[in-house]
A and B are shown apart, each in its own frame.
Chain A
């Protein structure tokens, strides 16, 4: 398929997933705020820190109040990763490849976009923020269902999945990171009811609380971390996402699982193995959760770049789609 089309479908998918995760991100904090004892320290600053746009936010908003931060993350037209901007970007990408996606997908994404636009421009926007985030999540589910149900499961569909799962893995790692590293630096709080509250909120934000309880019953940090990073069945766990992304990568190039035909596959395969053979205590808690997640995000970013190099940045060194040529260039 055309590189440009692959690129647009990949990013369309990533932006929709990003918008959904941002809704979950903000929702988690709302959840926590409602359950916190009065006088609890500001829970909104960490969300700004997590975006890395600390200075920009200071300049344009000042105080990290609930209202400011929520507006920043949800509707700011100048913050490229706000929910609004994500939907705009997703829609623009979709529009340029309308003949590749189904018409149902286009109409559905357009409705999703209008939903967010209408809320942004409404005079009483965010009166019921949790209702809005709930609608965003549902709209995202619907779009993904539409994608899986109305696109043929060929190369374009695999690029959509690739985008979706890479984004999800990244955002799950960030939700975890925000919680553990930024929200609760005090050791004295670990293991307390306050801590439990926070972990429940995190699990709820990824729609994983019920599944977690069925499997593990009691909350401990190790179990939650293990669940969110390594669980093979939970659809938002990092392991699950990397596995799905890996499968789509191989489906695109046609290479057998367990081998690699380009640097993106090589790196993804390595990452998948690290996760597949990891133990939560030895490989994650020992190393330090934040350090682990940081390293993970870096690797995932590099994979994203490698995907671009392999499929989208096509130049004259890759003539006539010869995969054999790629192999012989010493990537094996």
Chain B
């Protein structure tokens, strides 16, 4: 049924389908903070809404937020899908989230530092020793390392989801090379042009100072007394899918974007090869995984890293953000112990709960999982991107049997979670507006202080009914507005 271009949206007929909608409740009444936006959306002719959406897409093209379709010699580029209807977070909820995120990152930072020093949390039996030391992300080489100021996870992206009951949970901590913040910044730029009036009237917390905060966080890591530390962004290069972000952040901070081959260790320091000779580097914001950082320390076949980098790092003559070794806290198995970690280091209860998770290496929980495979999502600890995962309700009996075998063979490698009814946000779909599932990734910078970017990246599963928000599998993004409430 085709919608008339001059018709208007009416949220009283909008179907929330039993999911928590971020903008309106089940009767179509706007949630706190969303009043102005919903009013505006209902006042526009649908055609106008589509025009604004098209305008936003054009802006993104012009700004160059494109993926090259690599391998396509025609050189075509396309944008990361974006929808102009934002997600709204009222400030009181945001304050609670901010407290929770700061608490979490402080505890995780102490955890990482402890693991790579005296391992007191293991000695006290809070977490089984072999769970941590046997994890693929544990880096023995980092044992005893002392990163500047004792900070290991400088830049974190924590994935949050909200269930049908309205409760927000942490789904995952991303402490290695979290990406997506460039989309947050560019989406916001585009949104200001799409809805200038309501944006102004809504008192949305700004995100524009992220690059400045990031630079300050990085400069904070430089050795004391250095008046003008040289900061660089280390990228695998233009063939990497996140290259746009590496380039964007380097440009916004006004620092050099380098590849491994541009750096060389000389005389105990890391240097850049420039047309005026070698120039010393003090802080590296590295967007390369641990494994590829240094062929002399990690994977010998890495062409992306800098030979000898870890030697300079150990000697304290270069700062790396994030520190190598943080992956230990980015592990799905460790995730299940975060509440214990918070209590151990901070003597506090975890503010933002995890998603309820079953640990397959505990006998009773494993039995429950094996009996309920058709209802649960089972994940392998060391995989990502949907691999090594069983989505119970969508699986066949034979798939479940196969997974049961895997879990029994290596229980320490598996966790299980109930399928989640992610919250939704109204999204333009064809000639209508429908709810689509979202998650939220705020970005946290740990420098002199802990800074949480207000809002973050709302990723949206554009396919109807889909819960998969990854860009590689039909995901897109929305802007996130943290609304100052009077």
Contact = CB atoms under 8 A, between A and B. Distances in A.
Nearest to A3: B273
Contacts of A128: none
A113 B237 contact: no
A322 interface: yes
Nearest to A109: B75
A6 B275 contact: yes
B266 interface: yes
B53 interface: no
Nearest to A316: B266
Interface in A92-151: 95-96, 98-99, 103, 110, 113-114, 117
Contacts of B272: 2
Contact of A2 (B247, B262, B266, B280): B262
B258 A314 contact: no
A117 B273 contact: no
B5 to A, nearest CB: 33
A254 to B, nearest CB: 9
B275 A320 contact: no
A4 B261 contact: yes
Interface string A282-320: 000000000000000000000000000011101110111
Contact of B278 (A4, A95, A98, A316): A316
Residue in B73, B259, B275 whose Cβ sees the most chain A Cβ within 10 Å:
B275
Contact of B237 (A2, A96, A155): A96
A193 interface: no
Interface string B266-299: 1100011111111110000000000000000000
A304 to B, nearest CB: 15
B274 A319 contact: no
A84 to B, nearest CB: 11
A114 B264 contact: no
A60 B279 CA distance: 48
Given A98-B238, A103-B64, A113 B264 contact: no
A32 interface: no
Contact of B258 (A2, A114, A311): A2
Contacts of A4: 259, 261-262, 273
Interface in B416-447: none
Interface residues of B, number: 29
Q: How large is the interface on A (under 10, 10 to 19, 20 to 34, 35 or more residues)?
A: 20 to 34
Given A99-B250, A99-B251, A99-B257, A2 B73 contact: no
A110 B75 CA distance: 7
Contact of A311 (B68, B262, B266, B275): B275
B277 A314 contact: yes
A319 B278 contact: yes
Contacts of B68: 95
Contacts of B259: 4
Contacts of B261: 4
A154 to B, nearest CB: 12
Contact of B275 (A110, A252, A319): A252
Contacts of A39: none
A65 B478 CA distance: 60
Contacts of A91: 75
A114 B266 contact: no
Contacts of A2: 256, 258, 262, 272-275
Contacts of A316: 264, 266-267, 278
B74 interface: yes
Contacts of A321: 274, 276-279
A95 to B, nearest CB: 6
B280 A320 contact: yes
Interface in B114-139: none
A153 interface: no
Interface string A1-17: 11110100000000000
A83 to B, nearest CB: 16
B15 to A, nearest CB: 42
Given A2-B258, A2-B262, A95-B238, A314 B274 contact: yes
A2 B267 CA distance: 19
A99 B278 contact: no
7 contacts: A3-B274, A98-B238, A103-B64, A314-B274, A314-B278, A316-B267, A320-B280
Given A110-B75, A155-B275, A319-B277, 17 more contacts: A1-B274, A2-B258, A3-B262, A3-B274, A4-B261, A4-B262, A95-B238, A96-B237, A98-B238, A99-B250, A114-B75, A314-B277, A319-B266, A319-B267, A320-B279, A321-B274, A321-B279
| 3 closest Cβ pairs, A-B complex | A321-B276, A318-B277, A321-B277
